[in-house]
């Protein structure tokens, strides 16, 4: 189940909604009987599932993958462990999903995960969510391993915000974005190290479901940071995330002007300096976002609904 697009800016991930594999509507979503609630979904066998339900979840996944998956969403599975991933990789029909979301990556564990998905011809989204993420040297080690593996489709690196807060014995507070709290530094460090090396990064979850104003503010910051997706845990978050992934009209005008083959070396639009040699990659990113999400002018109606 491949997906062709610019590897630098895989914006089709959009809001990546995590669903427990035993959620009652998973079968209808995968079969296409009901519209997918997000651009990409992760069928979770890890945190979203009680330990007593694991074997039932694996059996359910086996049933779901016994036939093609016609949903328009990009579909991934989040195994509970590397050992479970090995078991799933041998499952008949596993090629009906795009790949695995690998939890709790560390420099010592990344290579075995990459070897596994390469052999299974699956993509991977490694999740950085351990104490290693607070040590720049450990982050560099993980980045270098990922950057060197050209035989593996690394869709994006995902950041586990709740687990990172858990390392600090903290949790998110209502009305405060990740950038205003203790994760601000680590998000900046992780994203800059990965993105500057050409590795796409997805922003962490916002887990206060009914605080949609703060979610909107956080996604706007996510886009300024260069993140290409954001984890969602409730379908009410999806339209907020994907609307905020649109671009401002003035940015769109500037991006087109920067990429114009007849553009001057330096010029200004609306009092803002534009320098194609420096801003080309930014302009390409803006056009990639616009091609998928349009502009941000529309007002979004906030409402809480179930899947």
pLDDT in tens, 41-64: 999 998 888 889 999 999 999 999
Res. 5 pLDDT band, cuts 50 70 90: low
Q: Give the rounded distance of the alpha carbon of 250 from its chain centre.
A: 26
pTM: 0.91
Q: Is 198 left (phi over 0), alpha (psi -120 to 50) or beta?
A: left
Percent of the chain with pLDDT over 70: 94
pLDDT in tens, 187-219: 999 999 999 999 999 999 999 999 999 999 999
Q: Is the pLDDT of residue 1 over 70?
A: no
Catalogue all structural domains in the chain, each as residue range(s) with its CATH number: 11-245 (3.20.20.60), 247-307 (no CATH)
Q: Is the pLDDT of residue 303 over 70?
A: no
Q: What is the Cα–Cα distance from 52 to 32, expressed in whole angstroms? A: 29
Residue ranges in 106-211 assigned as alpha helix (H): 110-120, 136-148, 161-167, 184-195
Strand order in the sheet with 40-44: 201-202, 157-159, 123-128, 99-102, 74-78, 40-44, 14-20, 229-232
Please report the pLDDT score of residue 297 as a whole number: 64
Bridge partners (DSSP) listed for residue 19: 43
Structure tokens at 111: 């290579």
Q: Is the pLDDT of residue 299 over 50?
A: no
Mean per-residue pLDDT, 85-105: 97
Structure tokens at 189: 């460090």
Please report the pLDDT score of residue 181 as a whole number: 83
């Amino acid at each position: 189940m491949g997906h062709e697009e610019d590897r630098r800016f895989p914006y089709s991930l959009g809001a990546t909604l995590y669903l427990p594999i035993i959620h009652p509507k998973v079968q209808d979503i995968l079969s296409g009987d009901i519209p997918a609630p997000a651009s990409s979904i992760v069928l979770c066998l890890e945190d979203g599932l009680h330990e007593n339900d694991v074997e039932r979840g694996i059996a359910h996944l086996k049933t779901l993958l016994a036939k093609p998956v016609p949903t328009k969403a990009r579909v991934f599975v989040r195994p509970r462990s590397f050992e479970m991933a090995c078991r799933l990789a041998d499952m008949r029909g596993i090629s009906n999903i795009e790949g695995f979301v690998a939890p709790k990556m560390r420099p010592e564990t990344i290579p075995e995960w990459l070897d596994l998905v390469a052999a299974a011809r699956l993509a991977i989204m490694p999740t950085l969510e351990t104490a290693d993420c607070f040590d720049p040297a450990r982050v560099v080690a993980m980045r270098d391993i990922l950057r060197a593996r050209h035989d593996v489709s690394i869709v994006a690196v995902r950041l586990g915000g709740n687990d990172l807060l858990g390392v600090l014995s903290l949790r998110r507070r209502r009305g405060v974005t990740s950038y205003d709290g203790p994760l601000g530094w680590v998000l900046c460090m992780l994203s800059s190290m990965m993105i500057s090396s050409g590795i796409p990064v997805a922003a962490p979850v916002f887990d206060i479901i009914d605080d949609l104003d703060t979610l909107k503010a956080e996604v706007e910051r996510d886009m300024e940071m260069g993140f290409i997706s954001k984890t969602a845990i409730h379908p009410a978050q999806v339209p907020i995330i994907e609307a905020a992934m649109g671009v401002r009209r003035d940015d769109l005008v500037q991006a087109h002007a920067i990429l114009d083959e007849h553009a001057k070396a330096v010029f200004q639009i609306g009092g803002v300096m534009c320098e194609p040699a420096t801003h080309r990659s930014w302009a390409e990113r803006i056009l990639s976002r616009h091609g998928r999400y349009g502009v941000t002018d529309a007002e979004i109606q906030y409402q809480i609904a179930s899947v």
